[in-house]
Structure 1
Amino acid sequence: MPRFSVIVPAYQVQAYLHECLESVLSQSCPDLELIVVDDCSPDACGAIIDEFAARDARVQPVHLPENVGLGPARNAGVARASGDYLLFLDSDDTLTPDALRSIADRLKETGEPDVLVFDYARTHWTGEAVRNQAALQLSEEGPAPFRLEDRPGLLKLLMVAWNKAYRREFLEEKGFAFPPGYYEDTPWTYPVLMTAESIATLDRVCVHYRQRRMGSILRTTSERHFDVFDQYDRVFAYLDERPELNRWRPALFRRMINHLAIVYSRPDRLPRGSRADFLRRARAHHRRYRTPCPSAPLRARVHHTLIRFGLHRTYRTLHLTAALHRAAARTSGMLLRGLRTAALRVHYGVQRRLPVRDRAVFAAYDGRGHGCNPGALESTIRDLAPHIRTAWIARPEHHHASPPGPRCLVPGSAAYWTALARSRYLVSNTDFDDRLVKRRGQVLIQTGQGTPLGHIGLDLQERPAAARGRDFGRLLKGVDQWDYVLSANRHTTLTQERVHPGRYTTLEYGYPRNDVFRTATEADVARLRASLGIPEGTVAILYAPTHRDYRRSQHRTLDLQRIVRRLGPRFIVLARAHHAYGAPLATTRGRVVDVSDHPSVESLCLASDALVTDYSSLMFDYANLDRPIVIHADDWEAYEAARGTYFDLRASPPGALARGEDELIDIFATGHWRGSRSTQLRAAFRERFCAYDDGRAAERVVRRVVLGESELPPVVPLDERRPVPSAAASLTREPLTTVPRPAGPPNVTDHL
């Protein structure tokens, strides 16, 4: 008997079915059966199913003689299921990596509940991925399992079958089955949740819910949308047969009215001329099932009133009025933006004719706030050249992260254009605005964002996945404005001057952002750890993966919750997403802390005891701390093919190297992460890439560029530097773990 039965009905999804089935069969929890139901699909779905069944014995193909629809097709799969738990997956959706392992672990933790509810993310055809906005309802805090009355907010989730795992014996005992017709999930999901004696939640995205550009059933105009009335008839009939569930009538009545309003108002569902009839049916359902409800938001009350009285013309009038209001707002907004842009261009032109002033303006990551190399240079200029007034370009939501001293400028404002027109020094780790006209007397310092492992600049011309339509003419126009470029090592210098050809001067002085690694004290480390809530005696692992050019959504290959469970209570993970992604890398829970919004990655490095990364340039900076680094290179071939790399990281890593999650866990469990071989690799890596990061890089830049000095502080040799130790440096050298040790001596070379 398998642990999971995953049921996938398929109909006219030949373009998506491969990816769907692969996402199930590639799960790290292999204890499953995959029941794929061919709902008499006219395309190649049947052949694809048979192909998968021929190569993997876990696949059970079911070919229906006629098309029966999604609900009955699922029932056909349920009839053949033998797993402890059933999961339903639509054939154009996918399971996320390690989803079944996370579900299995949570089921065990919560005592085998009747239903486990997990999270999903909508993946749009444009590549954007958006997590379910009601994810707060899935918090794992508090007792588990529970009943629906203990957490009624679960009814606010999308009422679908595929975001849950169901205990098969519970479904068989209660006789649940899917009805025919559209919206078949409605009379399945509500009764299941109301009847379940034990429910648990998993706060993890386990399904990617594909938002197709076209072809989705519910986005197809059809009379079948009238099926929604029959489905709610089934829900309330279920309540009529079970008086003990009457307390759920108000909530179900509200959900029904909201659902009917959505179907009625969506332009792509009901056929032309059928809306009045739909509203009459909705009015009848309102009267039939009306239940007194607590106060609701104004929008909901309007919907209830319009449906209650069947005000079809009023509904259309309000809808048209709202549409006209939005159109008028867009038109006026475009006009105002055009006038503002023209005024700012005039303003910038006037400011460029005024004298240049002894001021410096800084920016990092296109307005994301104070930090990186520009942030370190700004602080040093205020210390060594106080006559230079400084300003920082940042979007309003990042102003709170700027220290007192520099003036904050909003991109695109009049003050912003004044600063660009009249400041003597322009400092950034990206390009400034395309409309910048560099004047005589202005000095532009390009600080860069780190030592390159993946291809950059003109090397991306042959890498379309990484270039993403980049304008290389615009790139070179920006390079022509550079006066100075910072470099931390010879590798960076040689690469930069080739891929960014220009007349600038390279300052091979080290990266200013790394100065803090030499100037910080043990007291600073303790303060930072306390601010992050890291318990004393805990090993803090900073996990910072890089951006994937071949993926439009964030790359999550590590189950961080599983890792900390396996490693035991002495370990904590600080998870930091790459700045290119808006979504966090993980949800703060237990010993996994999301630090994606922390303003200073340097502070996170100081607070941590080890770094786990894949191909992020952060490894070159972190090496200056002389603390353990573990490389998780599970997709090196794909990354190298899409981005291109300047050297094979696997051949010369800065420490132990893992090719998968279990191998990564083993590296920490056995102590290899800070073993002698890892120390040797890190020493060679530091000698190659950390030659100039001695704590005085920012000072050298300011003295050379701003103060005009030629005698600069000499570089402290690598073997004379004493970086601040980590908090775990004084802990025992024995493995800090609750995972059983291997029976035999570990083979360190397996991880290197």
Structure 2
Amino acid sequence: MPRLSLVVPAYKVQGYLTECLDSVLGQDYTDFEVIAVDDCSPDSSGAILDEYAQRDARIHVIHLTENVGLGRARNAGLEKAQGDYVLFLDSDDTLSDGALKAIADRLEATGDPEILVYDYARSYWDGRIRPNQRVDLLKSDGPDVFPLADRPQLLDLLQIVWNKAYRRDFISRQGLTFPPGYYEDAPWTFCSMISAQSITVLDRVCVMYRQRREGGNILKTVSRKHFDVFDQYGRVFDFLDAHPELARWREPLFRKMVDHYLTILDRPDRLPQNARAEFFHRASADYRARRPEGFQRPPGGRGHKYALLERDAYTAMAGATAAVKFRQAVRKSTRNALNRSKRSAMGVFYQSQLRLPLDENLALFSAYWSRSVSCNPAAIDAELARLAPHIRRVWAIRPEAVDQVPKGVEYVRVGSREYWAALARAKYLVNNVNFADTVVKREGQIHLQTHHGTPLKTMGLDQRKYPASTDMNFDKLLERCDRWDFSVSSNRFSTTVWERVYPCSYISLETGYPRNDILVNATSEDVRRARAALGLADGAKAFLYMPTHREYQPGFVPSLDLARVADELGPDVTLMVRGHYFYGSSPHVAELRRSGRIVDVSGHAQVEELYLAADALITDYSSAMFDYAVLDRPIITYAPDWDIYSAVRGTYFNLLEEPPGVVATTQAELIRLLGSNEYDGTDAAERRDAFRRRFCEFDDGRAAERVVRRVFLGEETPLPFVPFAERSHAPNPTQALELVERA
């Protein structure tokens, strides 16, 4: 039997769940179990729980067949708990280092009390940490163990369940369970605290209470569900009625009830406007029905609100609230005037276009800061033409790149009047990066963020931990991300990263990457055509070398002696070199093209054609590995500076330990691997298979269609995925040649 049981309910927390579980499993105290409850979560939370359970026998997963809400999900976990003590941890929060050992030590030192109350801190999305403002209540003054009557001020702590450890036999004896609905913590917490005979405290932060920027707290959602608070306090007072020996707590809990009701009324993000009067009247009825004899209202403004509630004086309360709102409106109007002044810098023309109606059949595309027609936006563009030809498709292109626009593609030059008109009036804005800060998100516009890779390196808010890698303004970043309506993902790994590092209120589309559809659907003729366009002869072997950008290098400085590698590989091997798009066409590589066995493909418009043409990929930390893996062809990781790269930029997993194939950390080792064909051996294939299953799980050749049907056609039911074992992919160059010759 474990000492501690941690009940962790999970619902739509895939972006935070791994961090939560890692904080538990990484504790130096090990005598615990985790009862994880998948509350029929529609995202990947349940799958994440199962993956952790497979790796650690201390995790037990319960999958509920319907969504029952936080309280009843906790009950389901509580029924399975076997520990001496039960702790509750919300699945977007984390334990601090050493928390469980500190809790266990305190329980032992105080003789196993019924309840242990410990401290927490609020952890904000922007990196701020705010300590509990009432931590003074947890100071160990006086006896170590006491009933609440000796320290009634503990009721002034935030009444939550996850800052306490409860002895399991105490829970059973009191018959404690969580009720359904909002504010389910209130009856559990109040009833447990007032009935416990032995309580102790721990003045140590054990839980980091995550303050999510968007969508994290259902209590901050405008809804009639806030009326549930009346039933919750009804349960509290029913408990008091059933336990006359606890009558002394009626007045303190009455104050808590009234304060809670007033808080809900004061918050603009709780009640619908047309429900406020009804809520007030019900709160007033509870006030009069439960007011203790001889009760004295608090002094000052708070007491005035008590008096209004007692008299059921909603009109007076609403008038006072309106006055406050008027002052707030004045301040908001001032801010809006300043914002309008700033927006005027965008130009009078853009402002005039923003006042015109949206064009419901216009889509504006951009990729890589409007440098090309490529990547996921280009694949979506092509599918949109097939499925919804009535929608006009226009690309935003920088003036210096218009010569690269394929024939037949309609485009507007960035900065032109046509560009600003399209930005202002297009119903759909599609990009694989963010549009500029000057772009205004109009009501009714749909922004589709496709991204342009699976993240190995840290992204978004996670980059704050690696200041040497960026000078990004993170507030501005999130303002740009606030415009997203949809975010495309090629795997669950990416989804969990995006939702955490870009904490905005968009919908994740787990569709696969549209740009990878061609890697699944291409024919042998497509492969041969791609090779012929690059001048690659039938039967010749071609390696594609794609190193990534390094923040600590000012330009493209290949870590390979390309001439030597080409010589070592021999005359029958061509080395195609593609610098990261940040560098453009590299003059360093241009010097080596004279050898005839090195081809600079840095300027090639469609990287997918390079993938089709290559027999194998050599890369370091580029997201190219995740796309190329769709082809199930050899991938060689050349990582001579892994320690530097991972320290400067930060990574989400150790590529040397979980590679998509063989790994070389020196040039000599790379040449040996390539010459021995070890890169295409059984061990490499097994690693590649595991990598593909993890990172190519949605890439079945229909990603673009899924995106178009959901975003542009409004279809809610997604296309089913082809089972992984049944998926095909483009033939490799040898297979393509054999198929053509056979035909």
TM-score, normalising length from structure 2? 0.52
Report the alpha carbon displacement of residue 553 of structure 1 after superposing the two structures with TM.
2.2
Task: State the partner residue of 2:447.
Answer: 444
CA distance in 2, matches of 1:627, 1:695: 17
Matching residue's letter, 2:677: G
Q: Distance in 1 between matches of 2:368 and 2:454?
A: 16
Q: 1:698: Cα distance to partner?
A: 0.6
SS at match of 2:721: coil
The one-letter code of the counterpart of 1:528 is A
- Residue in 2 that maps onto 1:594: 600
SS of the equivalent of 1:485 reads strand
Q: How does 1:243-258 map to 2 (within 5 A)?
A: none
Would you say 1:638 and 2:644 are equivalent positions? yes
Task: Indicate whether 1:673 and 2:679 are aligned.
Answer: yes
What does 1:151-230 align with in structure 2 at a 5 Å threshold? none
**Counterpart in the other structure of 1:649:** 655
Distance in 2, Cα, partners of 1:397 & 1:413: 13
> Take 1:729 and 1:553, find their aligned partners in 2: how far apart are those partners?
38
Match of 2:127 in 1: none
Q: Which residue number corresponds to residue 395 of structure 2?
A: 392
Q: How does 1:504-653 map to 2 (within 5 A)?
A: 504-584=506-586, 586-587=589-590, 588-589=593-594, 590-653=596-659
Instruction: Find the residue that maps to 1:374 and give its secondary structure.
Output: helix
Question: Deviation string for 1:97-149 (max 9, x for gaps)?
Answer: xxxxxxxxxxxxxxxxxxxxxxxxxxxxxxxxxxxxxxxxxxxxxxxxxxxxx
Unaligned runs of 5+ residues in structure 1 are 1-340, 733-752
Offset at 1:604? 0.5
Q: Which residue of 1 aligns with 2:701?
A: 695
1:485 aligns with 2:476: no
Query: Is the counterpart of residue 497 in structure 1 residue 499 in structure 2?
Result: yes
Q: Per-residue deviation at 1:724? A: 1.3
Asked if structure 1 preserves the Cα contact closer than 8 Å seen for 2:585 and 2:603, the reply is: no
Matched, 1:382 2:385: yes
Following superposition, the deviation at residue 462 of structure 1 comes to 1.9
Shift of 1:397: 3.5
Give the residue type in structure 2 aligned to 1:441.
Answer: G
For the residues of structure 2 that align with 1:526 and 1:701, how far apart are their CA atoms? 29
2:468 maps to 1:465: yes
| Structure 1 counterpart of 2:202 | none
Question: Contact conserved, 2:662 with 2:679, CA < 8 A, in 1?
Answer: yes
Residue type matched to 1:546 in 2?
A: T
Separation in structure 2 between the aligned mates of residue 727 and residue 346 of structure 1, nearest angstrom: 55
Q: Distance in 2 between matches of 1:415 and 1:560?
A: 45
Q: Does 1:354 align with 2:352?
A: no
Q: Could you tell me how far apart the structure 2 residues matched to 1:488 and 1:431 are?
A: 18
CA distance in 2, matches of 1:367, 1:452: 21
Mean CA deviation greater in 368-377 or 580-589? 580-589
The correspondence of residues 91-102 of structure 1 with structure 2, limited to 5 A, is none
CA distance in 1, matches of 2:698, 2:344: 46
Deviations 1:514-538 (A, max 9, x none): 0011121110111111110012211
Deviations 1:404-424 (A, max 9, x none): 444211111111100000000
Residue 381 of structure 1 aligns with an amino acid whose one-letter code is L
The CA deviation at 1:583 is 4.4
The 8 Å contact of residues 634 and 684 in structure 2, kept in 1 or not, is answered as yes
Query: For 1:161-204, what per-residue CA distance to the aligned partner results, in whole angstroms no more than 9, with x for missing partners?
Result: xxxxxxxxxxxxxxxxxxxxxxxxxxxxxxxxxxxxxxxxxxxx
Query: Distance in 2 between the 1:509 and 1:595 partners?
Result: 29
Residue pairs, 1:230-269, within 5 angstroms: none
Q: How far apart, in 2, do the equivalents of 1:343 and 1:629 lie?
A: 49
How far apart, CA to CA, are the structure 2 residues paired with 1:654 and 1:463?
26
CA contact (8 A) 2:449 2:487 kept: yes
Residue type of the partner of 1:452?
A: P
Instruction: Note closer, same or farther for the CA distance 1:536–1:435 as it changes in structure 2 (3 Å cut).
Output: same
The superposition leaves residues 15-63 of structure 1 with CA deviations (integer Å, 9 ceiling, x where unpaired) of xxxxxxxxxxxxxxxxxxxxxxxxxxxxxxxxxxxxxxxxxxxxxxxxx
> Aligned to 1:693, what secondary structure does the other structure show?
coil
User: Aligned residue for 2:258?
Assistant: none
Quote the Cα distance in structure 2 between the aligned partners of 1:345 and 1:428.
23
Q: Which residue of 2 aligns with 1:686?
A: 692
| Cα distance between partner residues in 2 of 1:582 and 1:598 | 10
Q: Which amino acid aligns with 1:548?
A: R
Matches of 1:471 and 1:482, distance apart in 2: 18
- Asked whether the 8 Å contact 2:544–2:578 carries over to 1, the reply is yes
Could you tell me which amino acid in structure 2 is paired with residue 373 of structure 1?
N
Amino acid at match of 2:398: R
Aligned-pair RMSD on alpha carbons? 1.6
- Matched with 2:25 is none
Contact 2:527 2:736 in 1 (8 A): no
Question: 2:525·2:736 contact (CA, 8 Å) conserved in 1?
Answer: no
Instruction: Quickly say closer, same or farther: Cα 1:718–1:464, change in 2 above 3 A.
Output: same
Amino acid at match of 2:572: R
CA distance in 2, matches of 1:665, 1:728: 22
Question: Compared with structure 1, are the counterparts of its residues 728 and 658 closer, same or farther at alpha carbon in structure 2 (3 Å cutoff)?
Answer: farther
Please give the secondary structure, in 2, of the residue aligned with 1:451: coil
Aligned to 2:734: 728
C-alpha distance in 1, partners of 2:699/2:715?
20
Change (3 A) 1:416 1:609: same
C-alpha distance in structure 2 between counterparts of 1:731 and 1:381, whole Å = 32
Counterpart amino acid of 1:420? L
Aligned to 1:263: none
Asked if residue 411 in structure 1 is aligned to residue 414 in structure 2, the reply is yes
Shift in Å, 1:551: 1.7
Alpha-carbon distance in structure 2 between the residues aligned to 1:549 and 1:509: 31
CA contact (8 A) 1:539 1:728 kept: no
Distance 2:646 2:574 in 1: 30
Q: Give the drift of 1:710.
A: 2.3
Distance 1:731 1:375 in 2: 28
**Is residue 2:427 matched to residue 1:421?**
no
Q: Spell out, residue by residue over 1:657-689, the C-alpha distance to the aligned partner (whole angstroms, 9 max, x if none).
A: 001111111111001111111111100100111
Asked whether the 8 Å contact 1:613–1:630 carries over to 2, the reply is yes
Greater shift after overlay, 721-730 or 672-681? 721-730
Shift of 1:711: 3.0
Separation in 1, partners of 2:703, 2:495: 15
Aligned residue for 2:643, secondary structure, equals helix
Query: Following TM superposition, by how much is the alpha carbon of 1:344 offset from its aligned partner in structure 2, in angstroms?
Result: 6.1
SS in 2 for 1:657: strand
2: CA distance, partners of 1:573 / 1:395: 31
1:298-377 to 2 correspondence within 5 Å?
A: 345-357=347-359, 358-377=361-380
For the 8 Å contact 2:346–2:438, the answer to whether it is kept is: no
Return the letter of the residue paired with 2:498. Q
Q: State which of 664, 679, 690 in structure 2 corresponds to 1:658.
A: 664
Deviations 1:255-275 (A, max 9, x none): xxxxxxxxxxxxxxxxxxxxx
- Inter-partner Cα distance in structure 2 for 1:438 and 1:427: 13
